[in-house]
Structure 1
Amino acid sequence: MAEGLRERKKQRTRQALFDAAMRLFAEQGYERTTVAEIAAAAEVSTKTLFNYFASKDEMVFALREQRMNLVADTIDERGPDDGPVDVLARIAERLLADALVGYGEAGLAFTAVPVRLAMTVPELQAKALLLMFDAQREWVRALTKAFPDELDPLTAAAAVGSLMGTLQMTALASFERGDSSAEIVAHLRSVVGIAMNGIRQLERS
């Protein structure tokens, strides 16, 4: 019981630090925000912050592991009648739902902050590209392993690239335009449909 309480406290502290960082990055910019300011906003010491994040850039990419686990779990939980298109559509929907968890109506706009920073802050762009390519390779490997008779690596790569690129670029464009979270969700769900239509063509080819 005590171990469970400690773990939940750690999760709350990590979440508070992430929330504070994203809020300050959005309000005053990534470069102008200091680690000390983030710690103060989360009501912890700077030393405590470094127990959870080694640097500011690590905060920007903090959701990556969570999202990759979600993708892996969705593939593993596929049903006997599910095909690659079904699984990819479910992944897209779960990623959108995950972005909203804990933030209500402001959810997607808030969690889009790391996407915008990764694509616009020069010192983050190189790492963002490497992490994106690594994520795509992990998706491709997992999908070809799950559907060895239906997907070859090239087809899986085309499908994953289409879906990931659609989600990332649409979220960024919609966020920068100042759309509300409801509008962002609507745009993303709409373009997911477009991406999935193209992926279905790959599946039939």
Structure 2
Amino acid sequence: MVEKAGLRERKKQRTRQALIEAAVLLFEDRGYDRVTVAEIAAAAEVSPRTFFLHFQTKEDVLLANADVRVDLALEVIGERRAGERLPEVLVRAMEQMIFNAWDRDLSSGLAALRARLAASEPALQARLLQRYLTAQAELSEALRREFPDRLDVTTAPALVGAMVGAVGAAAVGALRRGEGPDEVRNAMRTAMALVARAVP
């Protein structure tokens, strides 16, 4: 029974990845606006119904690993090590978000495509903003619970916003310059260290 469940999950992940890869290729080749959900499904050799089991909209394909990244960061915050200081927890949470989940986005071309499209597609801009705000609220609340003597309802969101904003801006800048995955990671690390040094 466990083996069947594991096989089913692996098949689900393969289908999800095939949809992401098909979408990236189609968006790159034909432009975001000219690609339909049905075409993405066909390129991945699944039905449109299967597409909608994995993603609500084609914008969501571009945010495929966002929830995974947030969950990884929340796990780090919730499992704070004894004596670990606020800047250390924040950096470790961001490391998990960036380097455990972003690597897939960087290697698949999804991160670069998302950065380009976010500058020109209003529907994607709105979806990205909604996702960023939700993620920042979740991370802020988790940090505030772990550091109630250091953070309140104003300082926690401000700190998370500074970190997420700095890292995101550094990544987008590197991607727009056409830099490779290593350079993008280094830019993100530099931004992360800059914010962490400002946290007492």
TM-score normalised by length of structure 1 = 0.86
Tell me, yes or no, if the aligned pair for 1:115 and 1:168 is still in contact at 8 Å.
no
Q: 1:174 to 1:89 in 2, by over 3 A?
A: same
Q: Name the counterpart of 1:158.
A: 158
User: Residue 85 of structure 1 corresponds to which residue in structure 2?
Assistant: 87
* More displaced stretch, 48-57 vs 184-193: 48-57
Identity of aligned pairs, percent?
39
- Separation of aligned partners in 2, 1:50 and 1:109: 22
**1:142 partner amino acid:** A
Counterpart in the other structure of 1:107: 107
Are 2:41 and 2:51, in contact at CA under 8 Å, matched by a contact in 1?
A: yes
Counterpart position of 2:68: 66
1:1-205 superposed matches below 5 A: 1-102=3-104, 107=107, 109-198=109-198, 200=199, 203=200
Q: How many residues align?
A: 198
Q: Give SS of 2:149's match.
A: coil
For the residues of structure 1 that align with 2:112 and 2:146, how far apart are their CA atoms? 30
User: How far apart in 1 are the matches of 2:45 and 2:156?
Assistant: 45
**Deviation of 1:115 (Å):** 4.2
Aligned in 2, Cα 1:113/1:129: closer, same or farther, shift over 3 Å? same
For structure 1, which runs of at least 5 residues remain unmatched after alignment? Answer: none
Gaps of 5+ in 2: none
What letter is aligned with 1:66? V
The answer (yes or no) to whether the contact 2:19–2:41 under 8 Å persists in 1 is yes
Residue by residue, what CA displacement relative to the aligned partner does 1:113-162 show, whole Å, maximum 9, x if unpaired? Answer: 33443343112222221221121111111100111122222221221011
Measure, in 1, the Cα distance between the counterparts of 2:66 and 2:165.
Answer: 16
Greater shift in the superposed pair: 39-48 or 68-77: 39-48
Letter in 2 for 1:74: V
- Residues 29, 99 of structure 1: CA spacing in aligned structure 2 closer, same or farther, 3 A cutoff? farther
Q: How far apart are 1:26 and its partner, in Å?
A: 3.2
Cα root mean square deviation, aligned? 2.1
Q: Is the 8 A contact 1:108 1:184 kept in 2?
A: no
Q: 1:147 to 1:119 in 2, by over 3 A?
A: farther
CA distance in 2, matches of 1:24, 1:166: 30
Give the deviation of 1:27 after TM superposition. 3.6
What amino acid maps onto 2:37 in structure 1?
V
Report if aligned partners of 1:139, 1:160 keep a CA contact under 8 Å in 2: yes
Paired AA for residue 14 in structure 1: R
Counterpart-to-counterpart distance in 2, 1:8 and 1:108 = 18
TM-score (norm 2): 0.88
Q: Secondary structure at the match of 1:82?
A: coil
What is the alpha-carbon distance in structure 2 between the residues aligned to residue 163 and residue 151 of structure 1?
15
